[in-house]
Amino acid sequence: MTVVDGVGFRSKRGPILIALMVTTGLVAIEATILATAVPSIVKDLGGFAQFPWLFSIYLLSQAVSVPIYAKLSDTVGRKPIILIGIALFMVGSILCGFAWSMPALIAFRALQGLGAGAVQPMALTIAGDIYTVAERAKTQGYLASVWAVSSVIGPTLGGLFSEFVSWRWIFFVNVPICILAGWMLIRRFHETIEKRHHRIDYPGAILLTVGMSAIILAFLEGGQAWEWVSPESIGAFALGAIALIAFYFVEKRAAEPIIPMWIFSRRLLVTTTLLGLGVGVMLIGLTSYIPTYLEGSIGASPLVSGLALAALTIGWPVSASVSGRLYFRIGFRGTVLIGLTLAVLGTLALTLSASSPSIPLVAVCCFVIGFGFGWVAAPSLIAAQSSVSWSDRGVVTGTSLFARSIGSAVGVAVFGAIANAILAGASGGEHDPTAIVAASGAVFTAVAVCAVLTVTAGLLMPRSRVEDVELVATRE
């Protein structure tokens, strides 16, 4: 039996890690497989104006559910939550495969997102539970490598299914993976937790869901479905703000709050949350616009542009897996600052070279940025996890991933507004290569600015050693 923080895990860790990698693959492949199938879906179901909701609703339901699942995992255990997530994801995938209209497909994508909201944070939390601080960097690298492989497999499968079989199989293919992941976790992962009565914070969960749904919806649809200054936009932001203010006061009185307010009183947790937010913004800017930049400017094929972008997710697991050697020598803060420096250099190089599109140069910049992300995302998450005991690790992990999701949602809106403003002023619009280069260059500049601002969060991290962080958790 492996014991961590007084919680027993009657399992061998290797098989559990493999199960977590398979589970992570569900969300990782889904993040890239759908984009290549959109033309086929629209041709079959119609609803061209509605198809952006296929992505928006998934991101929305995933983001708002992450902190709720995270808190529940700290009360009832990780295993039931991740199994619920896998089940929801599988049911959502089956329903998506049988969707008869675009509105139905959008609704079923929301169910998929609710499943994904449990899968990703639970995989990272379980890895944090069963591995020591020294070992977590390597396990984070293994989990990140799943995203690297999926960035190539996802678009390839999406294209093959759409062209030779049916777009519906991009959803049906999830079913055997879900069954395999669930079976492996049921068979291999056994946790023993303290049995005690819990009071579920229903008001907090409802207010958080309403508040964040309204805010994210306003950012996602602002400037697209409605004008930024419009009754719909103002109403969504107002509703979100009111619900979140009410959430704050409810959480201060709740016996077992969804997001404990003490998280925001700890410097380490605040800075690591801000780092997650920054990574989310930068990541969505790169993944959303690099393929468009290469395809629209020099006519690169979707496969080639996808491979150039994949360099980002190749560099990430490489650095994440070796970050442990670095943060044990120079601390979490030093490691994060080195990673942020690489991210700044990579984004600046991408910005300065944007006027002369080059596939090899973009790939190199993406690799450098991804390498930097591996020394930011993994060490900051491990630092946050290591500073708390088992009973709070789920909510801390969930808060970090929640911040990353919020960063992506806000980033989509901001970068979209920047690009659309430039394209709207061009005579050829989105079909003008010069306008594409200008719009993409502006987005890359915004990403570089975000990278520089994120350095501030890294500088504000405490100068504590790894041993000091672990000691705080032990005392609690």
pLDDT value of residue 65: 84
Residues 350 and 251: their CA atoms lie apart, in Å, by 43
Token pair 């993976």 is found at 177
% of the chain beyond a pLDDT of 90:
20
User: pTM score, two decimals?
Assistant: 0.79
Chain segment 366-390, per-residue pLDDT in tens: 999 999 998 998 888 888 888 877 6
- Rounded Cα distance between 382 and 473, Å, is 12
Query: What fold does the segment set 1-191 form as a domain?
Result: Growth Hormone; Chain: A; (1.20.1250)
Asked if the model's pLDDT at residue 7 lies above 50, the reply is no
Query: Alpha-carbon torsion 392, 396, 401, 403, what sign?
Result: positive
Give CA–CA dist 33/265, Å, rounded: 40
Architecture of domain 262-476: Up-down Bundle (1.20)
Best CA proximity match to 384, nearest among 360, 403, 366: 403
Tell me the per-residue pLDDT of 177-214, one tens digit each, with 9 for 90 and over: 899 989 988 888 887 766 566 677 788 888 888 888 88
Compare 17 and 219 and report the one with higher pLDDT: 17
